[in-house]
Amino acid sequence: MTIDSVLVANRGEIALRVVRACRELGIRSVAVYSDADAEAAHVRLADDAVHLGKSAASKSYLNVDAVLEAALSAGVDAIHPGYGFLSERPAFAAAVEEAGLAFVGPPSSVIATMGDKAAARAVARSADVPVVPGSDEVSAVEDAVAAAEEIGFPVLVKASAGGGGRGIRPAASADELRTVVVEAQREASSAFGSDAVYLERALQGPKHVEVQVLADTHGTVVHCFERECSLQRRRQKILEEAPAPGLDPSVRSSLCDAAVRLAREVGYVGAGTVEFLVDGEEFFFIEMNTRIQVEHPVTEWITGLDLVAEQLRIAGGAPLSVAQDEIVCRGASIEFRVNAEDPDQDFLPSPGSMDGLELPGGPGVRVDTALMTGDVVPPFYDSLVAKLSVWAPTRAEALARGRRALAEYRVEGLPTTIGLHRRLLDEPAVVDGSYDITTLESWLSGATD
C-alpha cells in the first residue's frame, strides 16, 4: 500500500523525530496530544493534530480507542507508535490492523511472541541463537526452587511479559528465591497484567550489547551493527554507544548473524533490536524490542541510515533501501540520555519549567529534543527530555567531543543528568570501554558513600 499520511501515536522527542521524517518523505503527519501537550513542539510542527484527552497517559496516549478514533477521523493510512506507550502492545497493533491501517512495526502476532519472554526464548532456540540457561514459566514457589537448583544459583526471576527492567528479582539462595518469586509475581501482575515468571542464571558482570535489525515485507533482513548499552541504573539505560568498545570482531560477526537469524525465524518486519548479554567470547539472547529504540541515533551516526524513514518505507511495502554489504560501520558514536532527574536525590524526577536552555552544537553533535526555553516538563510522563549524541572518526575523539558538547549544554530551572554524564566520561572504565552492567550502580554507590 502507499502511505500518504501517518498518525504519530506518541509525544516528545520521538514524536517530533517521526514528524520530521514524514516531512522529508512527503508524508502528511498527524500528531496527537493530551491537555498537557497542547502547545508541544510535535503538535506545532505536524501537519495536523488531534486532541486525545486529559493529561494522564491512561486518558490519552494509552487510550487505544481514542488513538484509533483520532486516526480514523484524520483519514490517515498508518500509525507510527514511536517507543513506549502502546508501541509493544500486540492488542493495539491488532486493533490498527483490524481498522485497515498500516502499523509501522511488525505484525501483532510477532509483537505478542517476542513480548512473551518464554516464547521469545523458544524462537531463539529454533534459530540456533544461544539463550541464558533458564527455565520455562513457573507458578509454584517450590517449582521455582527446583528449577533454580538445576540451573545453578544465583538466578534472576523475570516476568514473562516484562520489559524496561520491571518484574526482575535476583536470588542467591533457595530461601531468598522463595521470597522474591512472590515479589516478582506481584510486580509482574501489577505492571503487565500477568504474573507469569521464569528463571535465568545470573551472569556475573556481563556486557549488554544489542543489534539493530531491519526487515522488509519481501523477505530481506539485515543488521546495522551493534550498540553497547551496559551503563544502566536499575536496568534503565543511561548512556549508549556504537560500535561496542572492545568487542572481538568474531563475536561481533556472530552476534549480528544471530540477530538476523532470529528476526528471520519469527517473520519480523520493520526496525527491531535483538538484545544480548556478552560474557567474554560467549553471548546469550535475552529479549527483542519490537520498535524503534531510544538509542537509535548512534546507529544512524555510524551507518548513515535514517532508521525512521526505513520504518515508514517498509510499512508502505517498499523493499529496504540498502543491502547488507552496503551497510558499513564508520567511526564511533555515543548517546547521553538527558533526564529531568536529580542524581543527587536518588534520581528523583524533577518536572517543571525549563527557564533557560543552551544547546551544544558544532561538527558531529546532534540533540534530539522537543523542549525549548520556557517549555514545561510535565509530571505525567517519562523524565527523558533530550538525547545528546556525538560522532567522531575514533572512539577517543568521540569521548572528547562528548566532553566538549556536555560542557556547552546548559539547562536552567530544573536538575538534569547532564552533570552525571560529565563525571562519567572521566571514569577509567568508561574511558577504556571495559565497563559492564554492574559498573554504573557500583560507581554511584561509591559516589554516595
Q: List, by residue number, the catalytic residues.
A: 291
Q: Measured between alpha carbons, how far is 360 from 386 in angstroms, rounded to an integer?
A: 12
Distance (Å, whole) CA 206 – CA 279: 5
Check if the beta carbon of residue 226 is closer than 8 Å to that of residue 256.
yes
Three cell numbers written together for 419: 552533570
The closest alpha carbon to 69, from 88, 50, 85, belongs to 50
- Burial, 407: exposed, middle or buried (Cβ in 10 Å; 0-12, 13-18, 19+)? exposed
State how far the alpha carbon of 51 is from the alpha carbons of 14, 40, 54, 382, in Å.
Answer: 18, 12, 9, 20
> In whole angstroms, what is the distance from residue 258 CA to residue 239 CA?
24
Dihedral class, residue 219 (left if φ above 0, else alpha if ψ from -120 to 50, else beta): left
Q: What's the rounded Cα separation, in Å, for the pair 40 and 449? A: 40
- From residue 384, give the alpha-carbon distance in Å to each of 218, 339, 350, 369, 387: 36, 4, 11, 9, 8
CA distance 359 to 411: 8
Q: Collapse the DSSP code of 94 into the 3-class scheme (helix H, G, I; strand E, B; otherwise coil) and give the result.
A: helix
What does residue 167 show for φ and ψ, rounded to 5 degrees? 70, 25
On the question of a cis peptide bond just before residue 393, with omega within 30 degrees of 0, the verdict is: no
Task: State the amino acid at position 381 in one-letter form.
Answer: Y
Q: Which residue from 391, 396, 393, 392 is spatially nearest to 431, judged by alpha carbons?
A: 396
**Exposure b/e, 409-446, CB count within 10 A at least 16 = b:** bebebbbbbbebbeebbeeebbeebebbbebbeebbee
Q: Which residues pair with 44 in a beta bridge?
A: none
To the nearest 10°, report the CA torsion of 357, 358, 364, 367: 10
